[in-house]
Amino acid sequence: MNAKFLPSVAAIREGEVDALLAELSRSPALAADRSTCSHPTLMQCLALDGVDLPLATQRTMARALLERGSPIDEPLIACASVGNLVVGQFLIEAGACLDGRVDLIEGWSPLEEALYWGQQEMAAVLLARGARIRNLRTAAGLGQVEQTKRMAENIDQADVRASVHSPFGALGREGDAVEQEVLDNALVYAAMGGHCEVAETLCARGANAASFPAGFHYRGAPLHWAAHRGHQQTCRTLLTLGADPGARDLTIEKTAAEWAVHAGHEQLAAELSW
């Protein structure tokens, strides 16, 4: 973050409540000001860098920032990325937007963020608090079989289809997504979540298990993502649906087995290496 934020950043990272309060007392505007590098706000710094701090420390710091005008919608998305339930629930209680804003990462929602990074507990909290399942990738990532079927059948509807998007923008995709791309993108979310029946549902609708969908910072096939998350049965299901265990991703040119090794799933890697 910019230099003026650094004493507050240090206080957050060290869990020094008094030091943070002293900085905010000297300059209350720090809570609402935006940095031009690294974390955009101190609340987002707390959401990401303070995730392992004691519960009471996180809530006290979050309250101090909120009382001085901190934004809350963007930090909730950050909480979803790392599974910060403490600050995340505080922000939800403070009224943070659960369903994304069109002016913030093009409408990307906290629920989508949680699914993208595999934060299932955070996803459950967001759903319990009222977050909506707005599009096909979200239904697939949550393992919602019937909702996935309904949405896949109505994929021509813009709100169901949505764009091929990610926390980093429309990676590997320019313009409106076509039906095939949306189905393939949703299949990766099903693979990430370990949802075999959803994967079968999407492939029956036309998703390609051997595709390398756009919308991910590493452009792997569904099998790569299932292997990285350690979902053995999902990998087996994808293989029956046409996945190629010898295929290399389009970013670092590794196989699904190599992705599994990288994530520490040695037994699964061995199974995928035949």
Q: pLDDT by residue for the chain (274 residues), tens digit each?
A: 999 999 999 999 999 999 999 999 999 999 999 999 999 999 999 999 999 999 999 999 999 999 999 999 999 999 999 999 999 999 999 999 999 888 888 889 999 999 999 999 999 999 999 999 999 999 999 999 999 999 999 887 756 656 677 787 655 554 555 889 999 999 999 999 999 999 999 999 999 999 999 999 999 999 999 999 999 999 999 999 999 999 999 999 999 999 999 999 999 999 999 7
**pTM listed for this prediction:** 0.93
CATH superfamily of 133-274: Ankyrin repeat-containing domain (1.25.40.20)
Q: Which residues pair with 104 in a beta bridge?
A: 101
Rg (CA), the chain: 20
Between CA 257 and CA 36 the distance in angstroms is: 39
Between CA 14 and CA 100 the distance in angstroms is: 31
**Predicted local distance difference test score (pLDDT) of residue 257:** 98
User: Phi/psi at 104 (nearest 5 deg)?
Assistant: -130, 105
User: Phi/psi at 39 (nearest 5 deg)?
Assistant: -65, 135
Q: Which residues pair with 101 in a beta bridge?
A: 104
**Predicted local distance difference test score (pLDDT) of residue 166:** 76
H or E stretch including 210? none
CATH 1.25.40.20 residue spans of the chain: 1-96, 133-274
Hey, what are 128's tokens? 């319990």
- Nearest Cα to 205, choosing from 137, 140, 149, 163? 149
**Predicted local distance difference test score (pLDDT) of residue 158:** 58
Burial pattern 26-38, b for ≥16 Cβ within 10 A else e, equals eeeebbebebeee
Q: What CATH number labels 1-96?
A: 1.25.40.20
